[in-house]
Structure 1
Amino acid sequence: MKNQTPLESWEQEQFFRWVISNQIRIPELQLANGSMNGIRVSPSLRARLKGQGLRPGVPDIDLPVRRGECCGLRIEMKRKAGGTVSAEQKRFHELLRSQGYRVEVCRGWREAVAVVRDYLGV
């Protein structure tokens, strides 16, 4: 049976709609940005992007805002149902944690919003 839950890309779009609609009230959200790792492109363009620094395993969302001991928040977005964290993603997440980042895997945009609100203390 086909997974009927929204795609990861849709979840990330909803998250950034929330970011845009709340960045005046929560100014730190102006720094939120997304990785382009999940975009499907031709093999030749993928090779060019890798040559320009695209790396597998990089989390989907970056919030470069210091809070306490953490130098930033990184979020790996997944569908509410389905979607697994790859070995490469797990490795990259651990490297980020070793550098002082908080890294979370969120299932759905609402979970990502909750993590950001918790991280920023709002």
Structure 2
Amino acid sequence: MTDLRPLAWPPAPIRTERLVLRESEARDRAVVIELDASPEGGTALGYMFLPEAWGRGYATEACTAALDWFAGALPGEPVVLYTRTANVRSMRLAAKLGFTELERFEAYGAEQWLGVWRGPRGGVDFAGS
């Protein structure tokens, strides 16, 4: 596994069709996207979108941009994603982004899902979607 510590996330701002991914500021409240790296567990994609940001495609757009950046920075390195199976929107997003299931397990009093993303071949193409 590649040492992920030297990579800064977020890098310089990443612009998509409607969004700019950049370092968080105190005024940011509706959306958080994270790529957390650890030597033990690799890299995990994390996100939080408040209800006012739901249903507009922001999660797909922002997470795709983050994963595209990651694939360019560390080609071939996988990214994992954990979510509750009861979180239908998050499960749908994981599938749309190209994550595939590794396992399901019980934690925090609910069934959890662990998926892996192995590069852009399974990702979303905004130009065509």
What is the TM-score when the length of structure 1 is the normalising length? 0.29
Pick 1 or 2: higher relative contact order, CA cutoff 8 A, min separation 6: 1
User: By percentage of residues, which structure has more strand?
Assistant: 2
What is the TM-score when the length of structure 2 is the normalising length? 0.28
